[in-house]
Structure 1
Amino acid sequence: MAMVTFVDETTSGDRRDALGLPVAEERLALRELIRRRVLQETAEGAQEAYERALAAFGSNGFLVLVGDRQLTDLDERVDLTASTEVTFLRLVPLVGG
């Protein structure tokens, strides 16, 4: 069983570790990892939160990194190991731009 650790970062360098998530599968699509993260953190309105997260990913609101590799496709499969770290890098728009 893999333990996925979600990390939130911003381009300004702020970093926050989220809870770990045990995962029985050896591989999951990025969209499923996002869904499980949303379910882990959202008690009510999980479907709407999931849809907002997918829209934000699609509009470059955040990047997803697994190790040092950026994932660009929601259907891309992620190999999960005993200690996989998934980083959600929130992109902050430039002031005035």
Structure 2
Amino acid sequence: MRAKIDNEVLFIHRDDVPKYNKQGSIVRNSYFWALRSIAGRSNSRYDWEFESEIWIALQRMLLSFGESGYLPTRETLLEFDAETEEIPQTLRLISTRID
């Protein structure tokens, strides 16, 4: 999921967050609701926002869903631009850099 940090807020690109589908997978829908429950903003018209205070919860959630094997890595990994100065320690286990 494409991500960036600005003023201690993590933004996940709105096109990369999971979509809720009433007829969809229970795991994917649970993932959607779990992420939405800790997001500061979770509107389909904007990037989703996660304040630094909950990054440890986000890390645990992404690791847990990633280890389940039901979701592809690209849906549980934060992708930061190569120009990003430094990825915070709390997010390193669930992050990568992209060109």
TM-score, normalised by the number of residues in structure 2:
0.29
- Structure with the largest fraction of strand: 1
Select the structure of larger CA radius of gyration. 1
